[in-house]
Amino acid sequence: MTIDELIARKRALGYTNEQIAQLSGVPFGTVQKIFGRQTSSPRADTLRKLESVLSGRLYSFSTQQYVGEYLGESPMIYGSSALDQKYTNYNEEDGEWSNEGVIARAYMPHKRQGEYTVDDVKLIPSDIRFELIDGYIIDVGTPSLEHQTLLEEVNSQIDHYIRENHGECLSFITPLPVITDDNYKTEVHPDLIIKCPKEYNDGHYVFNETIPDFIIEVLSPSTKRFDTSIKLKKYMRDGVKEYWVIDLIRRDVTVHSMNEPLKLYTFDDAIPVNIYDGKLQIDMIAAEKRIEKARKLFNYK
């Protein structure tokens, strides 16, 4: 698509520059310049990313080609792993997907990105990992071996502490839906949560019963920008007492706690869990050792 065609398509869909930047991964400033005609020769990969959002065709950045045919204004999942699956035509006349075994009726009813609700995403097949953020369906991809192994170790330490102390709370590993908005346009699936059987946390009333007391997100390329910004704001606003963001590459953990200053730990630290007044401390070195063991088991280099 040419820049003129992209601009026309943007108007037809009613997308803002901010929405396009969020969905495409193209920096907001670059999106502004392109749609403001301040850039005459954008990079080819930038144009492909914009076209994948606006054209209705899905572009796979791993295979460097478009997947499937033009889908008109039919909804699409933006991300990495779902783009690499087999997509087929949406029939505008009968409102059906032509390949029953792949996507089928999963994206019905027929809506634009930004309009989806919690009820709509119930139609997405259970084997596709997604999150719904402000009405946008986001593909979060398949977690890595390292990602899941770390979560298993951390969850094991938390569960052991709760059992040893006869606690009433429970810890869970994704996917468990957490609905953060009262307009039912956001449903996220945190990597790990702790949920306690109470509605009041230090005098703060938690309106939504699905809101956990404690959340962990492990960063990945497809979710990083959401985990560190949009989801952070939603979690803190809706009463999550403690939110950890774990970066496997940098070997650090950023801890956000209600009414407390932000804290940054490395994997070499014994990291206190504030909802247990620091009596529970997570050993990230043990998690790294477990990851190394898992990599050897699966012959990962």
Last-in-domain residue among 86, 121, 139: 139
Number of domains in the chain: 2
pLDDT in tens, 191-231: 999 998 865 545 544 445 678 999 999 998 767 878 888 89
DSSP state letter for 142: P
127 and 61 co-located in one domain: yes
- What confidence score (pLDDT) does residue 300 get? 83
- What confidence score (pLDDT) does residue 202 get? 54
pTM of the model: 0.64
Last-in-domain residue among 139, 162, 192: 139
167 and 110 co-located in one domain: no
Give the side-chain half-sphere CA count within 13 A for 180.
25
156 and 292 co-located in one domain: yes
- What confidence score (pLDDT) does residue 254 get? 95
Which two tokens mark 142?
Answer: 């398949």
Which two tokens mark 261?
Answer: 């200053």
Which two tokens mark 205?
Answer: 């009333």
Q: What is the CATH number of the domain that holds 218?
A: 3.90.1570.10
Q: Whole-angstrom Cα distance, residue 222 to residue 126?
A: 19
pLDDT in tens, 59-70: 333 344 443 333
72 and 98 co-located in one domain: yes
* Nearest one of 258, 271, 288, 294 to 158, comparing CA atoms: 271
Return the biggest CA–CA distance within the chain. Answer: 65
198 and 115 co-located in one domain: no
Domain assignment of residue 7, given as a range: 3-139
For residue 261, pLDDT beyond 80: yes
268 and 203 co-located in one domain: yes
198 and 133 co-located in one domain: no
